[in-house]
Structure 1
Amino acid sequence: MRPKVTRAALLREFGAPLELAEVPLPDELPPGSAIVRVRTTTLCGTDAHLWQGAMPFVALPIVLGHEMVGEIVALGPYAGQDALGAPVEIGSRVVWSESVCGHCHGCAVLREPVLCANRGYGFSQRADRWPFVIGGLSEYAYLPPGAHRVVVADDMPDTWAASAGCAVKTVVRAFANAGGVDPGATVVVQGSGPLGLVATALARAGGAGQVITLGGPSGRLRMATAFGADTIIDVTAVTDSDERVAMVEELTGARGADLVIDVAGGPTVNREGVLMCAQRGTHVVVGLAGPGAAAVPMDVVMSRELRVVGSLNGDVGDLVRALRLLTGLADRFAWDALFSDPVGLADADSALKDMATMAAVKAVVDPRMEIS
């Protein structure tokens, strides 16, 4: 018998402790939908920002978490296949993309699900309204019809599969939007969080001749070196943005970088990224600049014939490629180093704090840990 309620960690007030509570699950399952038992949720920096109140327009209460893997416990009609045509049945272990509507301009005309006007992130779903829970800090979650799911290979760790749902697929899409890495190219990665570390690894695996990673703190930068960075720049030590630009200029023989990927965000990051680009270079914007962003020098964009490319998260295709990337590069990069030891729902607060303070690269919550 499928569950009617689920235990979840609710965010009722920004900055306040999460509240463990029982939340309803949908009584009926529409065609294409499912209920999953969440096995693992890996936290994203966005989860910490939401918790801290950096996105006050989000309506509360909500269940945080949008990187998760789970087992199917109930299926609606016509929900028996994944995005690749593999069978989905009770007990199948799956990951899934954010739900998309299929009929807006982004979906139907542009054929870009990532641009869906009605895209269903976990933090867009109030926990006091139907369908209540699509976030990962919950024992069970509703999988909407438009959330394309992928059956996970038996030998893939839960943490890897969960992180593919946002962090890894976002990086995969960013490199695809950039046009990939030319052999021997110089790549600058702005950021040493989860996305920055994966981007560093992908740049190295993609054939870059030189990889420069900027970020902090020092522990993450040491990991960036292990993931393929030739040079690291600690932004907590080199606090002047112009000095960071000068360092990249020196490291590249005054030519600049062929590809600069912003996976950090911050007021000066895009200005720096453009100034770090070589002639005909590409700057990919993934991070949010936030308020008070420094002006991007458009004269430099023009005179160097730069490409400035936006890249937003990823769709189910990027998710599939992310899973393949993790498996294909498992012998080159220690993916497990990204993840902290798992905690249960009762300790989700501490996991969020670890993300907010950068004590963890990817905090992990296993909602099954406190279930007897």
Structure 2
Amino acid sequence: MHPRSTRAAVLTEFGGTLDVVRIPLPAELPAGAAIVRITRATLCGTDALLWRGALPFARLPMVLGHEMAGEVVSLGAGADRDAQGRPVTVGTRLVWSESVCGHCHGCTVLREPVLCAERGYGFAQRADRWPYAIGGLAEYAYLPPGAHRLVLADSMPDHWAASAGCAVKTVLRAFANGGGVTPGSTVVVQGSGPLGVVATAVARAAGAGHVIVVGGPADRLALVEKFGADSTIDVTEVTDPDERVAQVEELTGARGAELVLDFAGAPTANREGVLMCAKRGTHVVVGLTGPDAAPVPLDVVLSRELRVVGSLNGDVGDLARGLDFLSAFADRFDWDAMFSAPVGLSGAERAIRDLASMVAVKAVVNPALDQEALS
């Protein structure tokens, strides 16, 4: 038996409070579904955008949080194996991907789960409609049948695993879609948030000769330097996009970068990214620029024979590689330096606000902390 309801931090007004209330959990579990107790949720920039109401697909009320790890409390029929065939039982620690339908063109013909026509992002689920609780800012969450899951190693911390559910897998997919890093090449990372921090580490670990990070504020740039950035450009000081391009040109001897990845989503990011590319370079678009995006200079794309590639989130394969990456480089990179001290659900609103104001890089929520405070 599993709980029939859960405490959750629910957003009912964009830019407003997160109210900790009880919402239902499905009484019956379809085949392949599960209920988990959330052990950690980590927040990313998308959560801050959703909280502000900056994304058009957001619907209220909602439970924010799409990076989470949890412990199984109930399983539907046929949910006793993870995506790699390992046994799953009550008590198993898991991380999981967004649900996919398995039968659309994206799933079957393209064989790309990220292009599923019915992909089930937690933030697309209203908290007042079945199945209610899919987001991470809750004590318990519902795992739909199509949410591919992975068993966690005992050595994998919950907050690291949670961050792999979006930030890490998104970065690894972006590098893969961009063709990877040529040893000794120059890589420009646009953005110094959690994705930018992880991307800096990936570029360094992959053998980049020069890693340039364009972002801000100063404390975040100091952090990316710890993760391997050779040069940084502070957008709060260098406010002119053309000047930022000029600085990259100077840093690369007017050659440009072989690989430029946009994890910033700023209105001028893609224009800048293309202009920062070397001949035959690649610009990978990950950030959401919004309706006021500056035009991309297609004449530069043509004359330099550039590749401009889109990269959308990641699938369960990227998630598995993300867990492996965090484990393999645990001795080289101080992953914990990204994360804030965990708070309970009652502190989730403050965590979101800290993220939105760039006080925090990677906020962490542990729902159990509220119960511990009451006991």
1:5-16 → structure 2 map (5 Å cutoff): 5-16=5-16
Shift of 1:57: 3.6
AA aligned to 2:193 is G
| CA offset digits 1:300-357 (Å, max 9, x no partner) | 0001000000000000000000000000111111000000000000111100001000
Equivalent position of 1:96 in the other structure: 96
Give the Cα separation in 1 of the matches to 2:230 and 2:56. Answer: 39
Equivalent position of 1:370 in the other structure: 370
Give the Cα separation in 2 of the matches to 1:292 and 1:315. Answer: 29
Matched residue of 1:291: which SS? coil
- Any conservation in 1 of the 2:214–2:232 contact (CA below 8 Å)? yes
- So what's the TM-score if we normalise by structure 2? 0.98
AA aligned to 1:246 is A
Equivalent position of 1:261 in the other structure: 261
Is 1:41–2:41 an aligned residue pair?
yes
Equivalent position of 1:27 in the other structure: 27
Equivalent position of 2:299 in the other structure: 299
- So what's the TM-score if we normalise by structure 1? 0.99
| CA offset digits 1:126-170 (Å, max 9, x no partner) | 111111110000000000000000001101111100000000000
| CA offset digits 1:266-293 (Å, max 9, x no partner) | 1110000000000000000000111211
Equivalent position of 1:272 in the other structure: 272
Shift of 1:20: 1.0
Matched residue of 1:233: which SS? strand
Equivalent position of 2:233 in the other structure: 233
Equivalent position of 1:198 in the other structure: 198
Equivalent position of 2:251 in the other structure: 251
Matched residue of 2:202: which SS? helix
1:59-208 → structure 2 map (5 Å cutoff): 59-208=59-208
Give the Cα separation in 1 of the matches to 2:349 and 2:292. Answer: 30
- Any conservation in 1 of the 2:340–2:364 contact (CA below 8 Å)? yes
Shift of 1:104: 0.8
Matched residue of 1:369: which SS? helix
Give the Cα separation in 1 of the matches to 2:154 and 2:352. Answer: 29
Is 1:319–2:319 an aligned residue pair?
yes
Give the Cα separation in 1 of the matches to 2:116 and 2:30. Answer: 20
AA aligned to 2:117 is A
| CA offset digits 1:170-215 (Å, max 9, x no partner) | 0000000011100101000000000001000100000001000010
Change (3 A) 1:57 1:137: same
Shift of 1:56: 4.3
Is 1:211–2:221 an aligned residue pair?
no
Ranges of 4+ aligned residues in structure 1 off by more than 3 Å:
none
Matched residue of 2:69: which SS? strand
AA aligned to 1:43 is L
Give the Cα separation in 2 of the matches to 1:57 and 1:317. Answer: 26
Give the Cα separation in 2 of the matches to 1:38 and 1:190. Answer: 32
Give the Cα separation in 2 of the matches to 1:196 and 1:310. Answer: 16
AA aligned to 2:154 is D
Give the Cα separation in 2 of the matches to 1:14 and 1:56. Answer: 12
AA aligned to 1:300 is V
Give the Cα separation in 2 of the matches to 1:269 and 1:60. Answer: 30
Structure 2: runs of 5 or more not aligned: none
Q: What's the % identity of the aligned pairs? A: 72
Aligned residues: 372
Structure 1: runs of 5 or more not aligned: none
